[in-house]
Amino acid sequence: MKRGRDELDGDGSEEGRGEQAAPAAAAAGGDSEQERQQQQQPGDGQQPPAQQAEEDDEDDRPLLQSYKMSKSLRKGIECPYLDTISRQNLDFDFEKCCSVTLSGHNVYACLVCGKYFQGRGPNTQAYTHALEAGHHMFMKASNGWLFVAYKLEVEDGRVYCLPDMYQVQDRSLGDIQYVLNPTFTAEDVAKLDTSVSWARALDGTEYMPGLVGLNNMKQNDYANVVVQALIRIHPIRDFFLRPENYKGCTSLLVQRFGELVRKTWNPRAFKGQVSPHEFMQAVMSASGKRFIIDQQSDPVDFLSWLVNTLHHDLTGGKRKKRSVITDCLQGELEVVTLAGTGKAKESAEDVTDRVPFLMLGLDLPAAPLFKDALEKVIIPQVPIFDILKKFDGQTVNEDIKHGRRRFRITKLPRFLVVHVRRFLKNQFFMEKNPTIVNFPVKNLELAACVPVPQGKDGQPAPSKYDLVANLVHEGKAGQGQGTYRVHVHRKVEEQWYEVQDLRVTEVLPQMVALSETYAQVYELKQ
């Protein structure tokens, strides 16, 4: 400050400043010229020590504290990395969890390599992957454990460019967003059974929406055939094709089953097959690992558990409340327990109950023990009408636990599911009954073998059924033995197909009737 005042008091010339500086130098005790230059203000691009220390502290701060997330939105023409997207590498069927941390929260899919990474901010796995691999296009793909799944499905599908942090919107990204979350309007659903439609995958192969193969990850073929059979029931299919029908349901199993149904009917898929990985993960969680991927189970047992669990989750646990499951599959039986047996053991009269059912079990006659004259095993055959007489209300069925009972159908379901009991467990191992059941593919008239209930007009209710799905077991009996396949009817072209995991082939109706049927789904003719 003294120097500044002296400069203001002088005349401003170089000589005046020199004259004033000379006494000051003498008063300093004869400091050398070198020491005097060191005491001057820093120059030549150098910074004061205090300012340099402040900038060093700024560099040492965490990046998250000093970084501001970009909220800019750009069109596709403004993004130089849009053409790096590789659709051949994208697969949204598997569980959406980070490939580094294995976390399912806030997951983004790399649209270049197809891997999943968590987050998109600095110091996250997606951000690091963008810097290391040079992959810049990412799509939000996580569903996670969400309570309002419909709202969060709308948020999924946003595309971001990393590490620049801006969102990209372009019409060319619509096909990827549709594959991630297929959607159907009411008009789309109404056309499924009225027009023959084929679709083409990215590799050029053609596939039929609604009739695509399901990947067998290890031994989940028992679940694949059940899913293929259930999506032939068109009211259940139509219900799960539109997420708004169950947007208030918090069950992960319901959400995953709906996603699987929409993916199997997706006409714009990148490949002609679907992997039920996310659905099986939800099944394992909901069943307490009763049904798992790497161990084969009984498809009838799985079908019974699945429809009951879906009904329970859709109704919020209210047993008497109706759902799309009960509207399609539920019928009613009159069960008469003879006096002195079962629950009527201490009663002098027969006990009559009305019980609902989702599936009917049919008993096969015992297989022959001896071979024929040519030393060949005899494979017996039985008409389905003979084993349906179990429900005529007169045949007495004996059971050690439940006693002697008679059954009569008092209400026919819209879709009749029957189960042929082929497997019998003795004291040592599981036995399989090879009896062939002869059944008509069309016009199964129940009135020909069992009494049918009366309609509202007093006339017999309609009782003609057409087969829509036929589950078949091939191989030996036992845990993990044999394989399962399913015959399904494509109504729009009146053609039968055989589906075994990823293999979908045409089959004649006559061959369907010759198979070792294990379970069947019939549709009532209106």
Same domain, 101 and 7: no
Kindly give the confidence (pLDDT) of every residue in the chain, 526 residues in length, as a single tens digit, with 9 standing for 90 and above. 444 444 444 444 444 444 444 444 444 444 444 444 444 444 444 455 445 445 444 434 444 444 455 568 888 888 999 999 999 999 998 888 999 999 888 999 999 999 999 988 898 999 999 999 999 999 998 654 343 333 434 457 899 999 998 999 999 999 999 999 999 999 999 989 888 888 999 998 999 999 999 999 989 999 999 999 999 999 999 999 999 999 888 899 999 999 999 999 999 999 999 999 999 999 999 999 999 999 999 999 999 999 999 999 999 887 778 999 999 999 999 999 998 888 888 888 888 999 999 999 999 988 777 666 555 667 889 999 999 999 998 989 888 888 899 999 999 999 999 999 998 887 778 888 889 999 999 999 998 888 888 877 778 888 999 999 999 998 887 766 789 999 999 988 889 999 999 999 999 999 998 899 999 999 999 7
Q: Which of 299, 314, 329 is at the close of a domain?
A: 314
Q: What is the predicted pLDDT for the residue at 372?
A: 62
| Residue 79, domain member (yes or no) | yes
Q: What is the predicted pLDDT for the residue at 45?
A: 44
Q: Which of 180, 208, 240 is at the close of a domain?
A: 180
d(CA 108, CA 98): 8
Q: What is the predicted pLDDT for the residue at 477?
A: 78
Rounded to the nearest 5°, which phi and psi values hold at 109?
-100, 130
Alpha-carbon radius of gyration of the chain: 37
Same domain, 519 and 385: yes
| Residue 319, domain member (yes or no) | no
Same domain, 176 and 221: no
Same domain, 389 and 518: yes
d(CA 325, CA 309): 10
| Count of structural domains within the chain | 4
First to last CA, the chain: 105
Annotate 367-404 with b (16+ C-beta within 10 A) or e (fewer): beeeeeeeeeeeeeebebbebbebbebeeeeeeeeebb
Alpha helices in 245-346 (DSSP H): 252-264, 277-286, 299-314, 324-329
| Residue 106, domain member (yes or no) | yes
Q: Which of 180, 201, 233 is at the close of a domain?
A: 180
| Residue 33, domain member (yes or no) | no
| Residue 204, domain member (yes or no) | no
Same domain, 75 and 22: no
| Residue 337, domain member (yes or no) | no
| Residue 38, domain member (yes or no) | no
Same domain, 366 and 234: no
Locus of tokens 């695509």: 212
Same domain, 176 and 308: no
C-beta of residue 323 within 8 angstroms of C-beta of residue 315: yes
Q: What is the predicted pLDDT for the residue at 418?
A: 96
Same domain, 374 and 517: yes
CATH of the domain at 162: 3.30.40.10
Same domain, 383 and 500: yes
* Domain that includes residue 22, residue range: 1-27
Q: What is the predicted pLDDT for the residue at 369?
A: 72
| Residue 97, domain member (yes or no) | yes
Same domain, 21 and 100: no
d(CA 214, CA 211): 9
d(CA 109, CA 91): 9
Locus of tokens 């060093």: 56
C-beta of residue 159 within 8 angstroms of C-beta of residue 111: yes
Same domain, 173 and 222: no
Same domain, 465 and 382: yes
Long-range contacts, 60-68 (Cβ 8 Å, 24+): 63/122, 63/123, 64/121, 64/122, 64/123, 67/121, 67/122
